[in-house]
Amino acid sequence: MILFSYLLMSGVTTGALYALVALGLVVVNKATGVINFAQGEFFMFSGFVAWVLHVQLGLNYAVTFLFTIAIGFGLGALTDRIAFRPIAKADVVSLVLATVGIAFVLKGIARVLWGGKGDYLSFPSITSPDPITVFGLMVIPQQLAVLAGTIVILILFAAFFRLTRAGKMMQATADNAKAAVLVGIQTDKIYTLAFGTGAAIAAAAAVLTAPITLLYPDLGFPIFLKGFAAAVMGGLMSLPGAVLGGVILGVAESLAGGYIHSSVMELSPFIVIMIVLVFRPNGLFGFQTSRRV
Amino acid sequence: MAPFRRRNVLLVLLAIAIIVPPFANYYYLFVANLVAIYVLLAIGLNILVGYTGQLAFANAAMFGIGAYATGLLQVRLGWSFWLAFPVGGVIAAAVGLAISLPALRLKGLYLALSTLAFAQATQWVFLHWDAVTFGAGGFKTPPLSFDPLPISKPLGLYYLSLLLAVVLFLFAQNLVASRVGRAFIALRDSDFAAESLGVDLLRYKALAFGVSGFYAGIAGGLNSALLNFVAPEGFDLFQMVLQKAMIVVGGLGSIVGSLLGAGIIVILLEVLREVKGLQEIVFGALLVIFVLFMRGGLVGLLKRKVRGWEEPLRLVSRRVRPKQSETSQTAARTEKADS
Amino acid sequence: MNTGLLSVRNVHVNFGGMKVLQGINLDVAQGEIRGLIGPNGAGKTTMLNVISGILRPQQGDIQLAGTSIVGLKPSQIAELGLGRTFQTSQLFKGMTVLENLMTGLHRRTRGGFLTAGFNLKLRQVEEEQMEEQAWRALEFVGMTQFAERTATELSFGQQRVLEIARTLIGEPKVVLLDEPAVGLSATRLIELDTLLRRIRDEKGVTLILIEHVIRLVMEVCDQVTVLSSGSCIADGAPQMVRNDPSVIEAYLGKELRARH
């Protein structure tokens, strides 16, 4: 029972991380119709930036958090300008290869700046590293911080989409870009906003989980795949679906890792992606998705 | 006459490739051998991505499957290289065919991601199935000998790679300038129309995957012999990005472009060998730059500037039609104006 | 009883609860030019999609020259002698005009990948034959000057003609045309009219065309079928159909109802 509760907690925490990465992917996809292959690298790079700010420059956690998110947003906006806007109307091959290229550029920069393969940077714990007991479950306070942080971000996000003008404009652009232009929405700005927000979410996730994960340049791609697997479970267009998918993926992976073998955890995205895409390409939950014509 | 026609340029390159190596030192021989291997990878990938329009990311995995198959058949079952090698290619082709089945229903981005996931899973198998694949550390393959030919292994392997590269290059050129090649492009440009003309989509997608799998598998077998070693690292995402960069820089939808792209990328790879991070930056940037500014790749540029670099998708024979006269060409220009 | 070259019996098509086609019957005789008209949303393109195999009907049968084609893949139906064009241009942009036409002969040739790759005799012979036929097809539509142009360099009208030529080159028995006249100028319309007649008279190909340009339909069609809201409401000679009150209501009735 203790093992189970530990695995569950651990799974929910990583699930929250996947949920955030997936959320970032879906935001960009909803607004632009593109999957950003560099999302994992945004996460990784932001993690390193946070390390530089907090560990090397000694800024406190809250300031680090804000700066990292801002820089993350900037990265996203930059990607939009370089790799998306110029070829927004091009075919899928170009769009995908462009974001893949950006991903590798970021990875290379991170490797050059902060160490080669095998060097892991660690981020000191913000909260006390000792586990505490909550409702009979043993948890590490940072895990609670991650969960709390994730919930806050999700709430802010939902509010943004439903209540603010910018959020509604993003929805409109996603549903029908041509009509959006006719109505006077500046789709270019929306695209930048979408990319920036997607990256900012990844950055937030990175800062939240930095104390409990190790940082290395190659961690981007596996995170991206997992985020994608989570997003796909929700049908790639549904924000709540992505979040739910993330949690399910995290928990399933953790349980499989604990009860079967730890190496199985790396296989999870493949299994999920193949099963969902082949059997239920609109996602597992049947959320209403807007049709991409 | 056009002295820089493609045929002349390629013949000159071939001549150099045949004559120079016995006098080159081992390092250059190694790089030249690597180029031949990457040419095979690039051609196979271009057939799948450039001609048939399947945005697949599994080629590096096929490369690995070919290498592992060739190596393991020798090490685990005691087969000779000369048997294990072609069988390795066939195994990779078979895996390619197998992937094409789910691929039939997936397009564009979904295909990209599921093949990426497949590649990730393949890496996982290489890393974790220790009992068979020797796990993360990899394994050494038995030394290759070319007895009874009086030729050293590096030189012998080089000529073998060169021979295969030339033969498979010509095969590919013939293939794309035939009804099969046109079916591939039809599939890419409009699968509805292709089907309405009788092109069986599953069959041609499977063929494209199978052919690219075979080319990658052969390249893998050669690679295992070149390094005398097989390990998971050589077949990861970076390898996949390298291959994509090759076909984008060389030119999507061009067999000759694959040749150019492979050559350039391998040279860059060696030049930047010291710093992996720098390699990643350069190749990533190349991808972005070419996708944005030069979609036709280098070959596209050559086709516009130099005569004799066209790549017709049919067998051009002298017998069928004489050259168009000047008058009918001017008629064509004015005709288009009114409509 | 199946009387025509192409016969459709009691075909029903549903999309997520919506009945798009209900109990359609159609008989097209050999050598006929049949018009398929009706207001937007009547199910005309769906009808073509069902015949060509892109969609599967929930119920009913379709026979082409006596062979049932329901459930077959579109490429198999094409093999049996059905051709079609689409509303939007579906030319192969990566090929020249000549190569586009040669692709139209795909079902008539059989060289496989090994034959092609090793440049065996069969490939050489077939390539030459295909090129010959492609030139003849270009002559039939009077576009030989464009042989080496990329398909995208042609004007809109020329592209439409080329697509029809590409469908014809494989010598199908029946060709489905989805709005061939869309976007054509008056001159081009007359040319299309002539072309369609020549196709029927010189090639003996049966044509079924969806059209909104009623004038063309009245001029060139032997018989006209009218669909409205998924059902067939009229079927007969052009003049008769034109004066049929239910047809008039189907076209105008919607406008009138919309206005109240």
Q: What average pLDDT does chain B have? A: 88
CA atoms of C162 and C141, how far apart (whole Å): 8
- Tens of pLDDT along B269-302? 998 888 878 899 999 999 999 999 988 899 998 8
Q: Which fold has domain B6-337?
A: ABC transporter involved in vitamin B12 uptake, BtuC (1.10.3470)
Q: Which secondary structure element, helix H or strand E, spans residue B117, and what is its range?
A: helix B108-128
Q: Is residue A128 part of a domain?
A: yes
User: Distance from C228 to chain B by nearest Cα, in Å?
Assistant: 26
pLDDT band per the 50, 70, 90 thresholds, residue B310: confident
Within 8 A of A98 by CB-CB distance, chain B residues are 287-288, 291-292
pLDDT band for position A171 (cuts 50, 70, 90): confident
- Give the best residue of C103, C148, C169 to mutate against chain B (max B CB count within 10 A): C103
- Predicted confidence at residue C129, as pLDDT, reads 93
Give the C-alpha separation, B253 to B249, whole Å. 11
How many other CB atoms sit within 10 Å of the CB of residue C195? 21
Q: How many helices (H) and strands (E) does chain B have?
A: 15, 2
For A211-250, the pLDDT digits (tens) are 878 888 888 998 999 999 999 888 888 888 888 999 999 9
Highest mean pLDDT among A27-31, B206-210, C59-63, C179-183: B206-210
Would you call A172 an interface residue with chain B, using a CB distance cutoff of 8 Å?
A: no
Which residue, chain included where needed, has tokens 């009219």? C193
User: CA angle, C138 as apex, C132 and C142 as ends, to 5°?
Assistant: 145
Contact: C79, B198; criterion CB under 8 Å: yes
Q: Which long-range contacts (CB under 8 A, 24 or more apart) does C124-127 make?
A: C124/B315, C124/B317, C126/B179, C127/B178, C127/B179, C127/B314, C127/B315, C127/B317
| Among C204, C125, C192, C186, CA closest to C162 | C192
Average confidence (pLDDT) over C185-193: 87
Above 70 in pLDDT, residue B322?
Answer: no
Q: Tokens for C23?
A: 């109990």
The residue-averaged pLDDT of C162-174 equals 93
Using the structure block, give the residue that is written with the tokens 């670099």: B309
pLDDT at A270 over 90: no
Residue A170 structural domain: 2-219
- CA distance to A77, B169, B178, C19, C52, per residue, from A28 (Å): 11, 41, 41, 36, 37
Q: Closest approach of chain C CAs to the CA of B292, in angstroms?
A: 19
**Model pLDDT for residues C196-235, shown as the tens digit of each residue:** 989 888 888 999 999 888 888 888 999 999 998 888 888 8
pLDDT at B6: 82
- Mean pLDDT for chain C? 88
Contact of B174 with chain C, judged by CB distance below 8 Å, is answered with yes
Does the structure show a pLDDT above 50 at B167? Answer: yes
Asked if B264 is an interface residue toward chain C (Cβ–Cβ < 8 A), one would say: no
Grade residue C90 by pLDDT with cuts at 50, 70 and 90. Answer: very high
Residue A121, exposed/middle/buried by CB under 10 A (0-12, 13-18, 19+)? Answer: middle
Nearest-angstrom CA–CA distance, B53 and B31: 30
> Which chain B residues touch C107 with a CB distance below 8 Å?
197-198
Q: What pLDDT is stored for residue B3 in this prediction?
A: 64
Q: Test B328 with C90 for CB contact under 8 angstroms.
A: no
Would you call B211 an interface residue with chain C, using a CB distance cutoff of 8 Å?
yes
Using one digit for the tens of pLDDT, what is the confidence trace for B89-118?
999 999 999 999 888 888 888 889 889 989
- β-sheet bridge partners, residue C37: C226
Rounded to whole angstroms, the Cα distance separating C203 from C31 reads 9
Asked whether residue A287 is assigned to any structural domain, the reply reads no
Tell me the average pLDDT across B210-223. 97
Determine the average pLDDT of the residues in C158-166. 92
pLDDT digits (tens, 9 = 90+) for A54-109: 887 888 888 888 999 999 999 999 999 888 888 877 777 888 899 999 999 999 99
Residue of chain A nearest B118, judged by CA positions: A270
Tens of pLDDT along B222-273? 999 999 999 998 899 999 999 999 999 999 999 999 999 999 999 999 988 8
Put simply, whether B321 touches C (Cβ < 8 Å) is: yes
- Residue A110 · residue A44 · CB < 8 Å: yes
Domains of chain A: total: 1
pLDDT of amino acid A129? 66
Which of chain A's residues have a Cβ under 8 Å away from the Cβ of B120?
A: 222, 225, 266, 269-270
- DSSP per-residue letters across B201-216: HHHHHHHHHHHHHHHH
Q: From the list B171, B319, B331, which residue is nearest C117 (CB)?
A: B171
- For A236, name the nearest residue in chain B, comparing CA atoms only: B110
**Backbone phi, psi, residue C59, to 5°:** -150, 155
- Residues in B closer than 8 angstroms to A277, CB to CB, are 102, 106, 110, 113-114
Residue C222 and residue C32 in contact, taking contact as beta carbons nearer than 8 Å: yes
Q: Does A35 reach chain B within 8 Å, measured CB to CB?
A: yes
Per-residue CA distances from A156 to A24, A171, A201 (Å): 13, 16, 11
Residue B31: pLDDT band with limits 50, 70, 90 = very high
What pLDDT is attached to residue A52?
Answer: 87
Q: What number is the average pLDDT over the span C126-138?
A: 93
- Give contacts of C 116-175 with B, CB under 8 A: 116-119, 123-124, 126-128, 130-132, 135, 144-149, 153-158, 163, 166-167, 170
Residue A291: how many other CB atoms lie within 10 Å: 8
Q: Are A222 and A55 in contact (CB under 8 A)?
A: no
Domain residue limits, chain B: 6-337
Whether the CB-CB separation of B257 and B284 falls below 8 Å is answered with no
The CA R_g of chain C, rounded to the nearest whole Å, is 19
SS3 of residue B324 by DSSP: coil
**Does the beta-carbon distance from A96 to B55 stay under 8 Å?**
yes
- Is residue A234 within 8 A of residue A75, CB to CB? The reply is no
**C91 close contact with B: CB closer than 8 A:** yes
Average pLDDT over residues B188-205: 94
Would you call A87 and B275 a contact, using CB atoms and an 8 Å cutoff? no
DSSP 8-state assignment for residue A262: G
* B16 CB-contact burial (10 Å; exposed 0-12 / middle 13-18 / buried 19+): exposed
Q: Do A263 and B276 touch (CB under 8 A)?
A: no
Nearest C-alpha neighbor of B104 from the set A159, A281, C186: A281
Angle between helices B108-128 and A92-114 (to 10 degrees): 40
CATH top class, domain C1-81+172-260:
alpha beta
Chain C hits for B253, CB-CB cut-off 8 Å, are 94
How many Å from the N-terminal Cα to the C-terminal Cα in chain A? 49
Task: Give the minimum alpha-carbon distance from B190 to chain A in angstroms, rounded to a whole number.
Answer: 13
In B, minimum Cα distance to C109 occurs at B179
Q: Minimal CA–CA distance to A241: which of A3, A29, A2?
A: A29
- Indicate whether A282 belongs to any domain: no
Cβ distance of A222 and B120 shorter than 8 Å = yes
Check CB contact under 8 Å for B317 and C127: yes
